[in-house]
Amino acid sequence: MGTPETDFVSWLHHSRHFVAAVTLALLWWIESVAPMFSGRARRLSHVANNLALAAINALVASGFALAILAVTEWARARHFGLLNLVALPEWLSWIGAIALFDCWQYWWHRLNHRAPLLWRFHAVHHSDAEMDASSGVRFHTGEIVFSFLARLLVVPVIGISVPQLLVYEAISLPVILFHHSNLRISNRIDRCLRWLIVTPRMHYVHHSRWQPETDSNFASFLSVWDRLFRSFRLRSKPEEISLGLDDYEEREWRRLPGMLASPFRKSSARATTSQRTTTDNR
């Protein structure tokens, strides 16, 4: 019989996948009733390709699980890491862990847009011109590997525990699926939500073909980082945004083999269209 902590970790590990699956199914159904972008003709094949890539990534991520556990336990045993340097109340330690890790996610995302090698893999996520909730799990396997290698360094520096990391993933993944969803919600509701979390109207801008918009709204969960680090941007009419990337329109790049192969193309150019837009940074 395991300890209460190990039982909690095991429950979190399994329940977060269930919560994500239910969230994805619910959002996918609502998208068919109230879409922001209409005219989607290949929804089933689109979600099938995205989920196939996500399944591969889940297998790769599971291979890093023991390594993540090892470095977190190493940091805790040696009182290494920011959260282990001072004695904090339990509740404050949890808030600090989630906030610090989410801040790291923000900067890691920005780096994926800056570093040419990382962008080649991250472009697979941005090449989705028919963005919906399943786009929230559409990442190249190479990006997943780079991300976990970086986590092995960052997790002990922060001093985040495995339960805290699992709770972060359990609450952030539904938000990620939500802000990728092709869901028409009112600007009033979106405005209220985006004071705390990233919303669809924020993230549609991030998936624009126009590079100044692509290089904005990097936050994954808490929207505060874009405001704090001056990367927050909105479009007054998000339904007019052209999603995706140039040079990825061919059907081959929308299928699983094409998505896996696309970072190794000779050209992974970024969109630099001359499209003009208005912003409303509130």
What's the 3-state SS for 129-196?
Answer: CCCCHHHHHCCCHHHHHHHHHHHHHHHHHHCCCHHHHHHHHHHHHHHHHHHHCCCCCCHHHHHHHCCC
pLDDT > 90 fraction of the chain, expressed in percent and rounded: 76
Q: 3-class SS at 279?
A: strand
pLDDT (tens digit, 9 = 90+) per residue, 27-45? Answer: 999 999 999 998 887 899 9
Q: Domain limits of the chain?
A: 45-268
> Is residue 60 pLDDT above 70, yes or no?
yes
pLDDT at residue 126 tops 70 = yes
pLDDT in tens, 136-179: 999 999 999 999 999 999 999 999 998 999 999 999 999 999 99
Check residue 278 and give its pLDDT.
43
Give yes or no for residue 256 having a pLDDT over 70: yes
Give the pair of three-digit tokens for residue 7.
């039982």
If you average pLDDT over every residue of the chain, what do you get? 89
**189-247 tens-digit pLDDT:** 999 999 999 999 999 999 999 999 999 999 999 999 999 999 999 999 999 999 999 88
Query: Residue 276: pLDDT above 50?
Result: no
Using pLDDT thresholds of 50, 70 and 90, give the confidence band for residue 87: confident
Tell me what pLDDT residue 267 has. Answer: 60
Q: Is the pLDDT of residue 272 over 50?
A: no
Confidence of residue 1 (pLDDT cuts 50, 70, 90): very low
Read out DSSP for 19-68?
HHHHHHHHHHHHHHHS-SS-----HHHHHHHHHHHHHHHHHHHHHTHHHH
**How does residue 268 score in pLDDT terms, banded at 50, 70 and 90?**
low
